[in-house]
Amino acid sequence: GDAACEFIAQHASTQTPFFLYVPFTSPHGPYTLSKASDYALFAGSGLTENGKNSAALTYAMDRAVGNILACLDTYGIATNPVVFFTNDNGGPLNKDGAHRNTPLRGGKSDTYEGGIRMPFIARWVGTIPAGAEDTGSVVSAIDISPTICRFAGVPVEDELDGMDRSAVFLGKASPRGEPVFWQYGHPHAILKGG
């Protein structure tokens, strides 16, 4: 998060478009990397040792994302960039108490909805309606590139995987039409619709 804010500071006044990709590895094992001050927030939570560390790492990631958004505000460019926040899979199914995919079945490393369905949040101040929610449309991480191209006014290349899902983020109904496929080892899943 700190490095991302430094990048924003360097590029905010250049009037040159920039792309910033921030792939947090947190919360992820090893869970012993959390800061003591963050860990202390979950001391009385009833979570296991790994659960407290995972919760502390999640808290730290949330703080870093907030700092990045605040940096965009600080440098007066919050209305220009489109910000996407998503994940690669659901939480692992273990007994540490920190990961819950309910009411979805399954979790990380499987192809049930608890393993493949995750949050996808977008922010574009003044363009994407604040607080709008769409729980029926299917959007995948592979849709980010064609959607960004559409938002930037760049032709969407046929070779790109994924689909332009800009209409979904602009609050318009946009049935997917094409199925999405997952494979993790032997298990497979296909989702069509939405």
pLDDT at 36 over 70: yes
What angle, rounded to 10 degrees, do the helices at 49-74 and 2-11 form?
A: 10
DSSP string of 34-88, one letter each residue: S-HHHHHTTTTS---HHHHHHHHHHHHHHHHHHHHHHHHHHTT-TTS--EEEE-S
d(CA 137, CA 170): 12
Over the stretch 113-152, which tens digit does the pLDDT of each residue have?
888 888 888 999 888 888 888 777 888 888 999 999 988 8
Residues pairing with 122 in the sheet: 84
Spatial CA neighbour of 108 closest among 100, 98, 116? 116
Over the stretch 62-93, which tens digit does the pLDDT of each residue have?
999 999 999 999 988 878 889 999 988 888 88
Q: What percent of the chain has pLDDT over 90?
A: 24
pLDDT at 22 over 90: yes
Q: What share of the chain is helix, strand, coil (3-state, %, to 5)?
A: 35, 10, 60
Over the stretch 37-64, which tens digit does the pLDDT of each residue have?
999 999 988 888 888 888 899 999 999 9
pLDDT at 68: 96
End-to-end CA distance of the chain: 33
